Amino acid sequence: MEFNWWGAVGLFFASAALESIFALYTLAVTKNKALEASTWSLVSYFLLALGILNFIHNKWYVIPLALGAFCGTFAVVKWESGKKSK
């Protein structure tokens, strides 16, 4: 399968969203919010499956997937730390 730059950009943003959701899931679990954590878990596995289906055909898609994961987690942690400092 040939590498598609638009697909890679889409995977980057999907991965960033996925990691943001994982971070929000973790925050909900630590706050004992069962319904919120369960909902984030459901959404995260759905997005994870879509990502896997895309990069399994071309291993180069792992790069935007990993970069998106980094950015998504970084953004949520920075956002949460900013909320606590106010």
d(CA 63, CA 76): 20
Q: From the CB of residue 20, how many other CB atoms can be counted at a distance below 10 Å?
A: 23
Residue 40: C-alpha distances to residues 1, 62, 79, 81 (Å): 32, 23, 17, 20
Mean pLDDT rounded to a whole number for the chain:
84
Q: Closest by alpha carbon to 37, among 46, 28, 45?
A: 28
Residue 55 confidence (pLDDT): 62
pLDDT average, residue stretch 49-56: 70
Residue 30 confidence (pLDDT): 93
Predicted structure pTM score? 0.67
Q: Closest by alpha carbon to 71, among 2, 1, 22, 7?
A: 22
| Higher pLDDT among residues 55 and 56, named by residue | 56
